[in-house]
Each structure stands twice: as structure tokens, then as C-alpha cells.
Chain A
């Protein structure tokens, strides 16, 4: 194992890190937006047929995503987007959409359980003051739900971040469209230079450092929120 050679290759690896981060951040943002929307649909009173239809769609979506392998979802999205619509050389759109859709289902369940953890009296108090359902959800329920969901959301973010490492192996089948994220580029350079294990170890170290950073951010946010509890 020659670590020095790997360090000289750092610019390429850092470019891989950048792609990994772009995919993860994009997917987390997309997943969070989908998650919030789906969770709101799930808890909305089923008074009109439109909401009822949306609710059925959301439930189907969550069931399908949770019931099928992530890798398979990525392959399906890659096939639809790459062959059907998209055509670009560093194609991060495919993994962002695929992981975003995947994570959205999990986030929606997490956020929904957060909503449900807020006592029903809070909604009743808001409504009894004349606030609309939407106003109450936004100003009364969500701020309280956030506290309970932050740890679980961060777990989901960390899982998602690590899961993105399969993208280069998935996109390998899409001629000329392979995405070289951190693991992808390490794998490739390792093969080419014959210094395979060293490259993998360095990649592992970088993943580990980023996950530890995320954990620190999580701890910081949790500390700040528990402070506002103790007023």
C-alpha cells in the first residue's frame, strides 16, 4: 500500500468528494421537500376527495419505496432519465432524483411521526382561536414536531450520504454516463495504479470524517434546541 501516491492524486479524489456531496445535498433537499409535503397530506383531515386521492398516492409511493431495494430504484430512475430524457456527461441529476425520491418516503414517515408526537390539544387550541388548519400546522405543530424529528432526520441523512456510494457502479451500465463520486473515482484510480487497497482506505477515511462532521452538527442543533426547552 502506497499512501503517498494516493495523496498526490488528491485533486481527483476531492472532485469525487464534491460530486458525492452535491448528490447527497441535492437528494436530501429534494427528499426533505417531498417528505414534508407527503407528511402534510397524510395528517390533513380527509374532508375533500382531492386530499383523499393524494393520500392514496402518497401511501402507495411510501409502500413502494420502502418495499424495494434502493439500488433497484436507482437503476429504474437511471433507465428512465438517461435513456429517455437526459444526456450530459457528469450526470448527477439521476442519482439526485433517485435518492431524493427514496429518501422522501423515509423522511415523510419520520416527519409524520413527529407531527403525531405533538399532543392533539395543540391543534385544538390553535383552531379554537380561529387559526386555520394551515396556520396552526405551520406555526404551532411544525415548530414542536421539528424537535422530535431532528435526531431521526440526521440518521436518515447519514444513511443517505453513505448510500450514494453506489452511483458509480449503477451508472457504469449507462454508456458514457458514469458518475465518478468519491468511491467511484477511488475505485477507478486504484485499479489503474495497482494501489487499490490504499485508495479504498483513503476513501473510507474521507467518508468517516464527513459523517463525524455531520454528527457534530446534529449534536450542536440538538443542544441548541434543548436549551430553548429549559427557559
Chain B
């Protein structure tokens, strides 16, 4: 469902993600853990392009969300002037054209990051063709990806009802009437129907986060992204939010959850992922992940948090 291909993310000199690859299938509940500052939020925010990856591509159900990364397309590399020049030099020096030679040059270009801004008309045309065929508007893609933030980020100037119905109505996905009905149903499910006409600052943290989840669900997303949804909550409110998330997982929602709640990871995740040093260091089922962690950094991390 989501393909993350060789994502790099640089903030100036800070290299947060360094060639991260990952695939998320429909119905999976992925829990992402890792030390603070390792890039979990950056990873999650790259999925819906709240952060634009410096290199790499994100694919959602066959649609390309990022610009084309030429290094991921051999035919694009081969259309570049740089490739043409390197090939000509090699042939001029007496080598014979072969698939091995071609592959070697492509590998060198990838390894040494040799592509430049202007690589000629053919190269540009190929990139345009790929984008024309696969790339979709990010605003359309984001409708399919709900996001829940650590700080809730409810709209303080709107009632709970308006928070939930505003985007679907504004974007023409639902009529006001349908959006209202859907908001009521979803709120009833998370036990907050009586708060529908309140403003967010009348709600507790746990209630705010449940409303934020409902707001994202109201768009009928295919996947839900959670960035430490319980980290800003008082301990007694963590359970109610995790409960809603567990129900959602049981209903088959595809989810990516960054969290420090190891209990949730053990019981609800289909796969647990450890990010460190800018890449996925380990991914496994919860049993394997917690019972026989392989990566030394993960072992060290788990010994601290468990």
C-alpha cells in the first residue's frame, strides 16, 4: 500500500534519514520505536509529505507522491548526458558494449551521486513522462492518509463538530448533512457524542486526542499515521486513547504508530520497527522483536525502556 523507497531527509547539515526503505501493506499495524531524535517523526511526516524528502520516493497504492528520484530509475539514468559521456569514454578506450558495462556505469553514477541539474532533453522527457503517468496531487493523497499529532492540533476556533466536518465539507467529499451524521456516529463510537458542540479548550487531553482521531477518520482515510499520540497525556488518560486505537486496528485499519507504549506494540502491532541512524535497523513481529532482538543498539534500547 505504501512503498518508501530510499528516503533521505537532510535539515541542512543534519542528516536525519539516510536511505530508508520500507513497505507497508494493507491492514498492517506498524509500530515504530527508536531513541528520541532518531527521526521517527521525520519518517512519519515524510509519508504524507509534511516533510519533503531530500531524495527518494513515496508511493501510495501505485501513485507517486514525491517528485521522481532519477537514481531510482535505471532508464532515466541511462538517458542522462553523464551516462552517455561515461559510456562513450569507456567504449573509446576499447571496451565492448555489454550489459555488465552498462550496469557498472549506472552503479558508479548512483554511488558517486553524479547526476547534475541539466542532463539533457531525453532525460527530462523521461522524468516528465513518469510524473505524468504516476504522480498525484499531494492534497488528494493526503485525504487518504489521516494523521494524529502528539499535541492534538485541534482547531481552537471551531466546535468539535466543526473540527470534524470542516475538511470533508470544504473539500466536497460529503454534504454538510452527511458529514454531521458521520461525525455523530464516530463521536458516539469514541464515547464523546455529548461533547459535539463544545469547543476544544473545554476538553481534557484524552478527549482532545479522541476528537483528533475522529477528525482524521472523518475523511475516510485508507491509512492512519500516529505521532506519539499519548505522549502529551496525563497517565490516567493514556488508556482511553490507546483503547480507541486498538479498536481501530481490530476493524482492519492500516496504521503506522510512533509510540513509547511497549504494551500497545506487543499486543496490537503486526510488525514492530526500530529506526536508528537514519535507517530501519530491525523489523519483526512483536514476539520476535521483543524476545530476540538482534541489533545491539535495539537490545540496549529495549533494556532501557522495558
Chain A residues near B (Cβ < 8 Å)? 119, 121-122, 124-132, 135, 139-140, 143-144, 228-229, 231
Task: Please indicate the chain B residues that have their CB under 8 angstroms from the CB of A229 in the complex.
Answer: 201
B170 part of interface (Cβ distance < 8 Å)? yes
Please state if B157 and A144 are interface contacts (CB–CB under 8 Å). Answer: yes
Residue B143, interface by CB 8 Å: yes
Which of the listed residues B154, B170, B201 has the most CB atoms from chain A within 10 Å of its own CB? B170
CB < 8 Å neighbour of A122 from B48, B153, B170: B153
Count of residues in B whose CB is under 8 Å from the partner chain: 28
Cα A40 to Cα B159 with chains together (Å): 26
Residue of A nearest to B50 (CB): A124
Indicate whether A122 sits within 8 Å of B155 (C-beta atoms), given known contacts A128-B48, A132-B139, A139-B166.
yes
Contact of A231 with B170 in the complex, beta carbons under 8 Å: no
Give chain A residues whose Cβ lies under 8 Å from the Cβ of B140.
130
Contact present for A130 and B219 (CB under 8 Å): yes
A131: which of B146, B153, B170 is its contact (CB, 8 Å)? B170
- Point out the residues of chain B lying under 8 angstroms from A126, CB to CB: 155, 167
Q: Among the listed B147, B155, B159, B166, which residue makes an inter-chain contact with A128, where contact means beta carbons less than 8 Å apart?
A: B147
B50 touches A129 (CB 8 A): no
Query: A135 — which chain B residues lie within 8 A by C-beta?
Result: 170
- Flag whether B288 is at the interface (Cβ < 8 A): no
- Distance of A74 Cα from B143 Cα, bound (Å): 50
5 A-B pairs in the complex with CB atoms less than 8 angstroms apart: A122-B153, A125-B147, A129-B215, A130-B140, A231-B199
A144 surroundings in chain B (CB, below 8 A): 156-157
The smallest C-beta distance from A129 to any residue of chain B, in angstroms, reads: 4
Please report the C-alpha to C-alpha distance between residue A132 and residue B199 in the assembled complex, in whole angstroms: 24
Contact assessment for B155 and A125 in the assembled complex, using a CB-CB cutoff below 8 Å: yes
Of B142, B151, B198, B201, the contact of A129 (CB 8 Å cutoff): B142
How many Å lie between the Cα of A228 and that of B155 in the bound state?
Answer: 13
> By the criterion CB–CB under 8 Å, are B142 and A127 in contact?
yes
- Identify the closest chain B residue to A131 (Cβ): B167
Q: What's the Cα separation between A125 and B142 when bound, in Å?
A: 11
| Contact between chains at A121 and B151 (CB < 8 Å) | yes
> What chain A residues lie within 8 Å of B58 (beta carbons)?
none
Which of B140, B159, B167, B219 has the most chain A CB within a 10 Å cutoff?
B167
Q: In the complex, which residues of chain A have a beta carbon less than 8 angstroms from the beta carbon of B157?
A: 143-144, 228
Q: Would you give the shortest CB distance from A45 to chain B, in whole angstroms?
A: 10
**Chain A residues positioned under 8 Å from B149 (CB to CB):** 121, 124-125
Q: A130 to B142, Cβ gap below 8 A?
A: yes
The reply to whether A140 and B171 form a contact with Cβ atoms under 8 Å apart is no
Apart from A125-B155, A131-B167, 4 more pairs, CB < 8 Å: A125-B149, A126-B167, A229-B201, A231-B199
Closest to A135 in B: B170
Smallest CB gap from A125: residue in B: B153
Q: Which residues of A contact B219 (CB under 8 A)?
A: 129-130
Q: How far is the CA of A231 from the CA of B145 in the complex (A)?
A: 31
Interface flag for B14 (CB, 8 Å): no
